[in-house]
Homo-oligomer: A and B are copies of this chain.
Amino acid sequence: MSNLLQRKIERTKAMKFNIDKGCFYEALSDLSRSISAKAEPHIMSGIKITAHTEGLTLIVCNHLFFIERTIPIGTDKMLTIYETGSVVAPAKHLVDLVKKLPEELTVELMDRHKLSIKTDEISVVLSCFDVETYPKLPVLNLNNSVQIPGSLLNEILSQTAFAASSSDTRTVLTGLLVTFQDNKIKCAATNSHRLALRECDIETDIEGSYILPLASVKDFMRLFNDSVDMITVYVSENYLVFKALNLAMYTRLIEGNYPDLDSLIPAHPKTMITVQTSKLLKGIDRASLFNRESRNNNVKLELMHGSTLKISSYSPDLGNIEEIQQIIELHGEKELSLSLNSTFLIEALKAFTEEEVKLNFTGSMRPILIKPNSNKRHLHLISPVRG
């Protein structure tokens, strides 16, 4: 085929659409936050835009996941497709540009590497990537699926994901364990010094455990927020796929065996106390101001007279703080003193929505267990540090 003819065919294939700036900007900026302008290979810093007969599909990806968002052709005239086609545009730059353009845009592919964006007074030519070299969405065998309310899924992820490890020494611990079993979904994470676990009843035939990279979970929570009604989760061997109406995320799984968590949870506490969640949280937060230099950010908890809890912290340079809080209820031994990592304790307490929580102690060098004052299966385990 002659070059001239080839160019002519490409030219006739050129994508063209009209779109409302606000609608385009919202979709682009949501997605672009999931990718890096310095991505390697560089094409992953792009956003793939496909105009098709039903609307516009935007895809971003990195080494962990693909996110796909569709803007459908509606009756509200936000989007009109004139010609179908595809391009990969530099994402951050396109977002910055669309943000500063007026209300209605005409977008047209001039050749494989040049995108034209026009309004009445403004004319932009944007250099693009070659669409052929953009990573392809994985082709998956998706036999099994389960539906979960978006708000519930977001809640249990946010109550557990923070406890995963941020270092890479044991890859499985940098992920979130999601288990489907006996009509239940269970999310759990641990960095081997603390553990977070939350379980919920759902209707599902799926049985299996999957380890999601923490970075995927964070992007999931940002994108699929409470405004999403129902999320369908598809499971395959290497990927978990989350789908809402016009949004889908394909997240790669971490391979490996996750440690057995149930064996870690202490069964017979020696002391159980009930405290006000927000009051304890504030006390620990204050005490943590005096431990920033210490290796373990430790605060000291002491039971006093069986009715009060003393929270204290000390820094040789800054000074010290101590605070006395009333305990609501106590069962078991009345003497106790242990030191904990205040960051772990603060993050665990923030995960509870209940006004009161139970702290279970088994000994000064054994993990403490924190549970809500309800029947819900939700727990946090924190190992003590040397005081």
Contacts and interface: CB of A to CB of B under 8 A. Distances in A.
Interface string A278-291: 00001001100100
Nearest to A101: B286
A123 B96 CA distance: 50
A321 interface: yes
A122 B321 contact: yes
A40 interface: no
Interface stretch (A207-215, A244-252, A312-320, A374-382): A312-320
Contact of A121 (B97, B122, B124, B323): B323
Contacts of A101: 286
Contacts of A114: 319
A122 B289 CA distance: 13
Given A93-B289, A97-B289, A289-B100, A322 B123 contact: yes
Contacts of A121: 323-325
Contacts of A321: 97, 122-125
A122 B323 contact: yes
A90 interface: yes
A227 to B, nearest CB: 30
A127 interface: yes
A322 B289 contact: no
Contacts of A78: none
A126 interface: yes
A320 B97 CA distance: 11
Interface in A83-137: 90, 93, 96-97, 100-101, 114-115, 121-127
B318 A126 contact: yes
Nearest to A320: B125
> How many of these chains are in the complex?
2
Interface in A267-295: 282, 285-286, 289
Contacts of A324: 121
A325 to B, nearest CB: 7
A363 to B, nearest CB: 27
A289 B96 contact: yes
Contacts of A127: 317-319
A73 to B, nearest CB: 27
A291 to B, nearest CB: 12
B320 A124 contact: yes
A324 B120 CA distance: 9
A2 to B, nearest CB: 28
B319 A122 contact: no
A286 B126 contact: no
Nearest to A119: B323
Nearest to A315: B127
Given A121-B325, A289-B93, A325-B121, A100 B282 contact: yes
Given A121-B323, A123-B322, 16 more contacts: A93-B318, A97-B321, A100-B282, A100-B286, A115-B319, A121-B324, A122-B286, A122-B321, A122-B322, A123-B323, A125-B320, A125-B321, A126-B319, A127-B317, A127-B318, A127-B319
8 contacts: A93-B318, A121-B324, A122-B322, A123-B321, A123-B323, A125-B319, A125-B321, A127-B319
Q: Which 9 A-B pairs have the closest CB atoms?
A: A126-B319, A125-B319, A122-B323, A100-B286, A127-B319, A124-B321, A121-B324, A125-B320, A123-B322
